[in-house]
Chain A
Amino acid sequence: MSGHHLLAGFAEPEKLIAAIEKAREAGFYDLEAYSPFAIEGVAEAIGHRPTRIRLVMAVAGAIGAACGFGLQAWSAIIAYPINSGGRPLFSWPAFMLVTFELTILFAVVAGFVAFILRSGLTQLHQPLFAAPNFHRASHDLFFLRVTVDGDANAARDLLQGLSPIVIDEVPA
């Protein structure tokens, strides 16, 4: 987020999606939408790339599985071999459960951490919160944020033409 921003709040998701298309047609590309709930198609309309959070989770899950199985096999065979009724030390079927639990645990913790970090949720205050109506983005308004590089009036006119409920300026 750089430069100067305008926020237009719409009453319904359909209007937001239409506004995104209009804004893109008019040549605005640094756009972002803010809404009280997840709306199918908004991220695509803006042009966000698909998230790779599942890839992170898959890799972390694989690491969890390897760590879990490796730890059990190593400690049961090398570090602390327990002869329990003559059963084989490398009794791998018995190790599968802990391996499975750690797969899930690693994947979910990594997914959560990735979600928090990538979404910037370590920063408790955002400049957007200073906009007078932005508190409604978690309630009943669907905002489109436009970055203004050149002519501020052109951007404002464009947004006015989309019949928003409010237009806010994000204080720099």
Chain B
Amino acid sequence: MSGRPTTTPDQAADQTEARQGPLRGPAEYLPEPMSYEAITSEVMNPLLMTRVGRIWWISLLVSLALTVMMVVSILWLFANGIGVWGLNQSNIWGFAIANYVWWIGIGNAGTLISSMLLLTRQRWRASVNRFAEAMTLFAAAIAGLYPILHLGRPWFFYWLMPYPNTMGVWPQWRSPLVWDFFAIASYLIFSLLFWYTGLIPDLATARDRAAPGLRRALYGFMSFGWTGSASDWLRLESFYKTAAAMAVPLVFSVHSVVGLDFAAGLAPGWAETIFPPYFVIGAAYSGFAMVVTLAIPIRWAFNLQGLVTRSHLNVMGKMLLFLSLIMTISYATEWFMAWYAGSEAERDLVLFKFFGAYAPYYWLMLACNCVIPLALWLPVVRRTPKLILGVALAINLGMWLERILITTTTPSHGHLPSSWQIYTPTIWDWTLWFGTLGFFTLLFLIFVRLVPFISLHEVKQFDWQRRRG
């Protein structure tokens, strides 16, 4: 990006703090009172006017190449069946289900963050909720792909749906896999409507600011003729807040069901009552880490240090630290219960985790999820973009390893020693996995060029309330 000012907003904030002492209250999240013009142009100019930099194009090409790789992996899978993956007699889930759990975890956090912060009146959410929700949508959509691909006969996936058919067959309602279908489908539709409702007024701003032509017509269509009348705002706020209140239990239900997919499995390491809350916390944890991972490049690329401040990073860092501690307690609870319950298979499985075939990954996971995040106790780590980004990337890796290990450890070391088999991913496991990462990035790159990635109307409202005191 060209035209970078000589002092960055981060440096300006440092100077202000040096003069007046640390910022407190709303001033932390919006250091300078900004005019409406400044807020609008901060978000709209990169969207409408400036030519995108080379970095965006390179990222687009790379993610496009990875997306092509994803498509090829899927076609290869369709042509040859799920034998192309490293699945075997014991490990029937493998990467596909582990990656599904990981993606849906990331998909859970956006809506959770957005709605929880709205309900607790944390107005600073205005700077992060839009792209956190977009992250949710993309991640949940990708997550939904994996179980379908894993079906073996994916063209029959619609059999999960209850509909009158000539076979006279109905779904087995006692199966967590059917619950999964309903949870994910409801959640995707919910997230889309929730995200779009908040977006309509900002699309109207884009419509009113775009030069006449295709873009204005597009934004005009997308904003549904929004005028911003008092009665429309009344309805929007009423619907939005009610939906937010419903989002919290919905998010909890979605990942609880994912946990139940495992817990209903009656295998050592899976049949644990802790699983639903443990999965919800894991989802919030990896999702928060992903929000930080996305927020830092965005604030850098679009010069948004005045809207996504280091205080935002600071509070998100505290949240990550808190969730990391709960994760550690959850792991410890698993170990303790395995010992306390007295089952040979459970105890043996814990030893297998620490010293068996997957041990290096298990130790790496513990380092990434439990040890490295302890650096967030230090304020300097939470407030330095590069450092907190490093921690967030470690958590992303750690949580991914956790999903892989949950899915592979138990089948590899179950009740029956004769069926102990190790899972070894094949090249197609990896290409599909990296392909979906590329696809996610591609969707995100298009998103930041297409819609306002910061909630303009909420930032303006926050700014006005702040000035009013």
- On chain A, the residues within 8 Å of B236 by CB distance are 38, 115, 119
Binds A, one of B3-11, B197-205, B370-378: B197-205
* Complex CA–CA separation, A33 to B231 (angstroms): 8
| Contact size range, B | 35 or more
Q: Which of B173, B174, B458 contacts A37 (CB 8 A)?
A: B458
Contact with A along B156-194 (1 / 0, CB 8 A): 000000100000111111100011001101100110011
Least CB distance from B150 to A in Å reads: 21
Cβ A80 vs Cβ B170 within 8 A: yes
Asked if A102 meets B170 with Cβ closer than 8 Å, knowing A32-B231, A35-B228, A119-B231, the reply is no
Decide if the interface of chain A is mainly helix, strand, loop or mixed.
helix
Least CB distance from A109 to B in Å reads: 7
* Complex CA–CA separation, A128 to B204 (angstroms): 13
Q: Which of A46, A75, A128 contacts B227 (CB 8 A)?
A: A128
Decide if the interface of chain B is mainly helix, strand, loop or mixed.
helix
| Contact size range, A | 35 or more
> How many residue pairs, one in A and one in B, have C-beta atoms under 8 Å apart?
184
Nearest residue (CB) in A for B455 is A37
Cβ A97 vs Cβ B208 within 8 A: no
Instruction: Please tell me if B229 contacts chain A, counting CB pairs below 8 Å.
Output: yes
Cβ B190 vs Cβ A140 within 8 A: no
Cβ B242 vs Cβ A111 within 8 A: yes
Least CB distance from A114 to B in Å reads: 8
Asked if A53 meets B238 with Cβ closer than 8 Å, knowing A38-B461, A124-B221, the reply is yes
- On chain B, the residues within 8 Å of A91 by CB distance are 173-174
Instruction: Please tell me if B235 contacts chain A, counting CB pairs below 8 Å.
Output: yes
**Chain A residues at the B interface, C-beta cutoff of 8 Å:** 12-14, 32-39, 42-43, 46, 48, 50-51, 53-54, 57, 71-72, 75-76, 79-80, 82, 84, 87, 91, 94-95, 97-98, 100-102, 104-105, 107-109, 111-112, 114-116, 118-126, 128, 135-140
- New contact pairs (7) apart from A53-B239, A75-B162, CB-CB < 8 Å: A36-B205, A36-B460, A71-B162, A79-B168, A101-B182, A101-B186, A101-B253
